[in-house]
């Protein structure tokens, strides 16, 4: 008996437009209000990303699409988590070899990936929660689930390249070595999504990748 292979997408243009408009509305609203007077920027970001994730899921259900269209389902969540851990382990091994090679050449690789961190415990906990968990989930829902699912109709390579470039541009990062890390991450997340057809895989990769960067940045906190 032939077992049907899992599939992702296609995401219709109408859904993409609705999602983009919804996310734009959240971004504009949160930037227009002086939230900084009552709460931290990290908390603002957490609330915004939470709303944005809810908008994406809400639109999919409103359009009578199941979450399986973006590679999410109860039956595959655990297997996606396991596969994501395997991908993370393999990628972590590659990064370790790169670090060892650079160290042997007299180059300290840590400054290339370290981020400035809050100087207080509360800020650190919030950063790990927001930047390490909430934001990656919402970003994977959009950049891989929605955007990649839409671009995939024109082929794997265009979808990989365009979704990854837009992922980098959306982070408003100046052109430094860190932008190459973001581009590598975007390509890796999209490739894992394409190969596994399960959004939990890039979500796991993204979460663990961000948390690893924050942990390695702790000595500078």
The verdict on whether omega for the bond into residue 122 sits within 30 degrees of 0, i.e. cis, is no
* 162 within a domain of the structure (yes/no): yes
Residue 3's pLDDT is: 45
Distance CA 33, CA 95 (A): 41
Residue 102's pLDDT is: 87
Residue range(s) defining the domain that contains residue 94: 13-220
- Angle, helices 121-129 vs 41-62, to 10°: value is 20
* 211 within a domain of the structure (yes/no): yes
Residues 61/174, Cβ–Cβ less than 8 Å: no
Exposed / middle / buried, residue 31 (Cβ in 10 Å: 0-12, 13-18, 19+): exposed
How many domains does the chain fold into? 1
Locate the DSSP E strands across 73-123: none
Residue 160's pLDDT is: 96
Residue 35's pLDDT is: 58
* 139 within a domain of the structure (yes/no): yes
* 4 within a domain of the structure (yes/no): no
* 152 within a domain of the structure (yes/no): yes
Distance CA 96, CA 165 (A): 25
Residue 119's pLDDT is: 78
* 107 within a domain of the structure (yes/no): yes
φ, ψ of residue 36 in degrees (nearest 5): -60, -15
* 166 within a domain of the structure (yes/no): yes
* 3 within a domain of the structure (yes/no): no
Output the tens digit of pLDDT for each of the chain's 221 residues.
Answer: 444 456 777 999 999 999 999 999 998 888 777 655 556 778 888 889 999 999 999 999 998 888 889 999 989 999 999 999 999 999 999 999 989 998 999 888 887 787 888 878 888 999 999 999 999 999 999 999 999 999 999 999 999 999 999 999 887 655 456 688 889 999 999 999 999 999 999 999 999 999 999 998 887 66
- Angle, helices 121-129 vs 200-217, to 10°: value is 160
């Amino acid at each position: 008996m032939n077992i049907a292979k899992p599939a992702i997408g296609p995401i219709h243009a109408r859904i993409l437009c609705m999602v983009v408009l919804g996310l734009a509305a959240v971004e504009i609203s949160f930037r227009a209000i002086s939230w900084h007077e009552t709460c931290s920027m990290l908390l603002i970001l957490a609330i915004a990303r939470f709303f944005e994730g809810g908008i994406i899921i809400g639109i999919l259900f409103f359009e009578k699409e199941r979450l399986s269209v973006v590679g999410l389902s109860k039956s595959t969540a655990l297997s996606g988590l396991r596969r994501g851990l395997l991908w993370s382990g393999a990628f972590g091994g590659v990064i370790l070899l790169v670090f060892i090679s650079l160290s042997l050449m007299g180059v300290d690789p840590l400054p290339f990936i370290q981020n400035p961190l809050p100087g207080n415990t509360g800020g650190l906990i919030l950063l790990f929660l927001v930047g390490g968990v909430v934001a990656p989930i919402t970003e994977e829902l959009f950049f891989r689930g929605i955007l990649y699912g839409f671009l995939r109709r024109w082929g794997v390579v265009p979808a990989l390249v365009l979704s990854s470039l837009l992922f980098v541009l959306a982070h408003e990062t100046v052109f430094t070595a860190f932008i190459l890390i973001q581009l590598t991450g975007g390509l890796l997340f999209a490739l894992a999504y394409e190969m596994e057809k399960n959004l939990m895989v890039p979500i796991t990769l993204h979460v663990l990748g961000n948390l690893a960067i924050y942990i390695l940045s702790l000595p500078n906190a």
